[in-house]
Structure 1
Amino acid sequence: MKTNRLLFYDILKAYAIILVVLGHVIQTFNSEWKTDNVLIGIYMFHMPLFIAISGFFFVKSADKNTIGTLIKKRFVGIMLPSLSMGVLDVLLIGGGKLLKHKPFDVLYFTDILFTGLWFLTVLFILTVIGIVLYKKLKGLNYYIGWLVVWLFFYIMPDVWVLNQIEFLLPFYFLGIIGRNVKWEKMKVGISVLALFGYCACYSIFTFDDTMYAMGSDCFSLNYIYGTSLRLVSGISGILCSLAFISCLSKLSNRVSKVAAVGAMTLPIYVLHQKFLIINKMMHLHTDNHVLMILIALMLILITVGTYKILHRNKYLALLLFGEAQHK
């Protein structure tokens, strides 16, 4: 049986993946999605929340494994599904371009290949960085090491997934050090402060402030402003999410049932966008958020059902979901 703490984080992961799917549903069905207020509210913190949860469990994994062993496990568990979906995307997009006699951009397809699921690619890279720093540096040097790595990515140009790494690294590190913080004793004060910070950021946040539009002049005032806004928004959103799920869990025992969804975030993340491709042919549009929430929940049920069928095959289980052994 899971402890209350692990159950809480599975519920939190379920909440996070629902936000991810809903965000993609809004992008797919609302042609004005870049100015959609709900989407902006989600994009302010949903990926920082996901990476922080991964960081929270990092030390436990690092203590149990050597550098090589953990890298191997994470390559199979998260990088292999990203590569597999990258290969699939190259075949589908590349095949379509060849059939339509359109130019074939090798650099573009190389990027797709290695970032089939960009978040998993970033998580794998941060895991590699994290385990090396954790095993090789101690005390203050460990924290300085993370800072140096972040500064390195900060000044790097806008290529491949370097922007995403720069954006998510601080939240991954906060997840690592956050495991030792007894935030429950301070949750009222922290939650009020976090809610204030989130609302303040929401009033000025636009799609141009997201990691997808970070720009490249890292020394400009505009870039520094955007970096600061993303950091405050992400932290505020994470803390608000912790408080929200904590209160929700205590209000109703039924909430614990969604923990099963939290335990399947990877297959949901891997599969759900492929089903959304259908709408590119159907061209259905809506700005009704209630309807889009229902679509997102239905999509999660479909992907869970699809996963339960696909993972019965040991090769698909390995390639798509990083499951080394057929269950």
Structure 2
Amino acid sequence: MKEQIQTNRLKEIDIYKTIAIVMVVCGHVASNTVGVFSGFISFVHMPIFYFVSGFFLYKELKKYSEKELVKKKFFRLVIPYIVWSCVAFSANAVVLIAGKGMDIGALLDDAVQVFIYARSVWFFIQLFFAHMLFILIHKVVDKKALRVVINLVVWALLIVFCTTTIFCMWKIKWLYGFLLLGYICSEYDVLSKIGEVKQVKRGVIFLFCLVGWIAATVLSFGVYSTDLVYGFDDMPFSLNTLGIELSVWACGLTGMATIYFVSCVIAKFRFFDILYRMGSYTLDIYVGHMLLLFVIKKIPMPKELVFVLSFIIAFFFICVPLYILAKYFLRKIKLYRMVT
């Protein structure tokens, strides 16, 4: 019975990740075209990934030493960041050379934007730094309560002082809190305890989260300069921006909770097992859709709703299944396993 509960819980988490990556693709494709509804996408998908990352980070720290985990994170996050940034830079270089000829200055500027300012796949490098920060605190502090306090203090310092655009690190100041939340939920087995709550009570909690999510998103829309498609606001710290961004954090928190309950329901139906399977390929889908979107944006055509829907349908029902099939064979190659 214990093994079955564990399997079901992981199935829910994989479905959770799949829903989040669908939101990422929809958010990037339909950026600035769907009005207030973009808030229901953009404020939630990255918090979900940070939450899930923190959830599994607890399990990894139980299984591996800090030194072993740092090595694994380097190969899992930094190597893919370098590889896919090279791919993105190469694609940009081809377009630049085709349009302007061999402009060394433009190529160098593009290299800085891609590799230093993480314009392409920022999620990899930023998540690596977030993990390194957390693992360092875990290494030097033994007591759980003190570890929580130090992490909260570090998070507060990030909120106030972290404004650098190098590696998009200014985004970490808000997303780090979701990583902490995921770790705590895993450490204290919160998700399993939620599953043990009576169905009626879970329904009430779900409705509370749903209403809160809708209210927070609608109230926050229009007063916030950027959304989580690009990260939280990088303006200098002030009480005004703190209040605005806390409201957006509330959007992420209530949205995360709502979608988790939806994932729990979906996990009960075998018909939706494809969503469970896709949960293992979220990083691949993230990179793939970014590269495909880059190519499509270079094609002169109207970016209307029909195009948006066509891209989403083609990506998830044609490209993703073909990729999963191809990966079955590619996983046999050691170099490929290192960069994915």
TM-score range, shorter chain: 0.7 to 0.9
How far, CA to CA, are the matches of 1:298 and 1:178 in structure 2? 36
Answer yes or no: is 1:163 the counterpart of 2:170.
yes
2:286 corresponds to: 269
CA offset digits 1:66-120 (Å, max 9, x no partner): 1121011111112211111112222332454455155337566234115341112
Is contact 1:76–1:318 with CA below 8 Å preserved after alignment?
Answer: no
CA offset digits 1:108-161 (Å, max 9, x no partner): 623411534111212211111222222321222101221222123221224222
Q: Which AA in structure 2 matches 1:305?
A: L
Q: Which AA in structure 2 matches 1:299?
A: F
Q: Which AA in structure 2 matches 1:170?
A: G
CA offset digits 1:247-285 (Å, max 9, x no partner): 2333x3312232111111121112122112332214242
Answer yes or no: is 1:6 the counterpart of 2:23.
no
Is contact 1:267–1:304 with CA below 8 Å preserved after alignment?
Answer: no
Match of 1:190 among 205, 210, 214: 205
CA apart distance, 1:317: 1.2
Is contact 2:89–2:110 with CA below 8 Å preserved after alignment?
Answer: no
1:231 corresponds to: 249
CA apart distance, 1:293: 4.6
2:62 corresponds to: 63
The percent of aligned pairs where both chains have the same amino acid is: 22
How far, CA to CA, are the matches of 1:136 and 1:304 in structure 2? 44
Unaligned runs of 5+ in 2: none
Q: Which AA in structure 1 matches 2:276?
A: A
How far, CA to CA, are the matches of 1:307 and 1:256 in structure 2? 14
Q: What does 1:92-107 align with in structure 2 at a 5 Å threshold?
A: 92-97=91-96, 100=100, 102=103, 103-104=105-106, 106=108
C-alpha spacing 1:316/1:304, structure 2 compared with 1 (3 Å): farther
1:317 corresponds to: 336
2:153 corresponds to: 148
How far, CA to CA, are the matches of 2:226 and 2:14 in structure 1? 29
CA apart distance, 1:189: 3.7
1:324 corresponds to: none
Q: Which AA in structure 2 matches 1:124?
A: F
Q: What does 1:84-95 align with in structure 2 at a 5 Å threshold?
A: 84-95=83-94
1:286 corresponds to: 304
Number of equivalences: 312
Is contact 2:77–2:124 with CA below 8 Å preserved after alignment?
Answer: yes
Q: Which AA in structure 2 matches 1:235?
A: L
1:247 corresponds to: 265
How far, CA to CA, are the matches of 2:184 and 2:130 in structure 1? 15
CA apart distance, 1:236: 0.4
2:20 corresponds to: 16
How far, CA to CA, are the matches of 1:166 and 1:265 in structure 2? 23
2:138 corresponds to: 134
Aligned to 1:104, the other structure's residue is in SS state helix
Q: Which AA in structure 2 matches 1:270?
A: V
CA apart distance, 1:292: 3.7
CA apart distance, 1:16: 1.3
Is contact 2:126–2:172 with CA below 8 Å preserved after alignment?
Answer: yes
C-alpha spacing 1:46/1:164, structure 2 compared with 1 (3 Å): same
Is contact 1:79–1:121 with CA below 8 Å preserved after alignment?
Answer: yes
Aligned to 2:235, the other structure's residue is in SS state coil
C-alpha spacing 1:119/1:304, structure 2 compared with 1 (3 Å): farther
How far, CA to CA, are the matches of 1:46 and 1:24 in structure 2? 11
Aligned to 1:57, the other structure's residue is in SS state helix
C-alpha spacing 1:104/1:285, structure 2 compared with 1 (3 Å): closer
1:260 corresponds to: 277
CA offset digits 1:173-212 (Å, max 9, x no partner): 1111112222232533432221122111221224625243
Q: Which AA in structure 1 matches 2:336?
A: A
How far, CA to CA, are the matches of 1:149 and 1:38 in structure 2? 33
Is contact 2:8–2:267 with CA below 8 Å preserved after alignment?
Answer: no
1:210 corresponds to: 227
Q: Which AA in structure 2 matches 1:187?
A: R
Aligned to 2:210, the other structure's residue is in SS state helix
How far, CA to CA, are the matches of 1:244 and 1:131 in structure 2? 31
How far, CA to CA, are the matches of 2:244 and 2:169 in structure 1? 16
